[in-house]
Amino acid sequence: MQAFYADHFVLPLPPGHRFPMAKYALLRDALILACPELELQEAPACSDEELLLVHSGAYVDAVRHGRLSEDQQRAIGFPWSAAMAERSRRSVGGTVAAAFAALQDGMAANLAGGTHHAYPDSGSGFCVFNDLAVAARGAQALWAQSHSTALPVLIVDLDVHQGNGTAHIFADDASVFTLSVHGENNFPFRKEHSDLDVALPDGCDDALYLLALSDALAEVEQRFSPGLVLYQAGVDPSELDRLGRLKLSAAGLQQRDRMVFEWCETHRYPVALTMGGGYANRIEDTVQLQVNTYREALRCWRRWHNLAP
Ligand SMILES: [Zn+2]
């Protein structure tokens, strides 16, 4: 399974910054050991043309040339630097590449991405550009080159925070279905309307979560038939998470991932996996939860391609 990384494009942060930037490189190191069958490749930088499928020219220029205001940088949560701009493009490029690879091979992944709080002309919550939205529109554009019908894209966003930017971008676009399963009391405090929102209470455990997810997937099945699924597999619903407010165990999160991948595999929906959030006190715990996601992805990948389990 192809997987794209961009951790060597480091986004410099001031000492003590609360974003766990080291998790990206640690994840790649851990996956080399735990999942040697992954075909790891450097994420390409996405093009202006791709970004402009979603973002305004003024915003793309502001990120490129360092013209983000203090307020814009504060909302994003990262100080601007040339490296931050490059890193953001690579993060989007990895998801675009994973989406294209999934259309070819059934499944693929970006070791970064899932930046679902970004809007067309502003970033927010550690998200500069919205990789899921750019990849959805990019895949549709690629598809349109050789097909007469539009590519329907489903975004399954299981990060504990609502995918507000993504919901806003596709609010009037019937070709993209947005599902967000999130904590009702979490950031963002003003929610947008996804095509299907499932808001869970503080302290939600494995059983309640998995039932809600199963119901949500059943409802999606009634309402939409995707040609591509983009999966935002944030591990911040974990009980170990500092920001999450939900109480999923490691086994529960792994079952969550299995449910999504098996659902895609059963229906033969190509699926591209992106990282999303994860803020455990010990960064190793976040990385382990993400490795578990890859184990589940690869389990389905082998079945998809009739390889030995
Ligand atoms: Zn999150």
Cα of 237 vs centre of ligand 1, distance in Å, is 8
- Is this prediction's pTM over 0.75? yes
**140-149, pLDDT tens digit by residue?**
999 999 999 9
Q: What is the DSSP letter of 183?
A: E
Which residues lie closer than 8 Å to 241 by C-beta, 6 or more apart?
A: 160, 235, 278, 279, 280
Measured in Å, residue 137 CA sits from the centre of ligand 1 at 22
Task: State in Å: Cα 182 to ligand 1 middle.
Answer: 9
As a whole number, the mean pLDDT across the chain is 97
Which candidate in 117, 161, 168, 182 is catalytic?
117
Cβ 288 vs Cβ 245: under 8 Å: no
All domains of the chain, ordered by start, with CATH? 2-304 (3.40.800.20)
Cα(146) to centroid(ligand 1), Å: 36
pLDDT band at 247 (very low <50, low <70, confident <90, very high): very high
Residue 117 annotated in active site: yes
Is the CB of residue 272 less than 8 Å from the CB of residue 98?
A: yes
What does the pLDDT look like over 105-125, one tens digit per residue?
Answer: 999 999 999 999 999 999 999
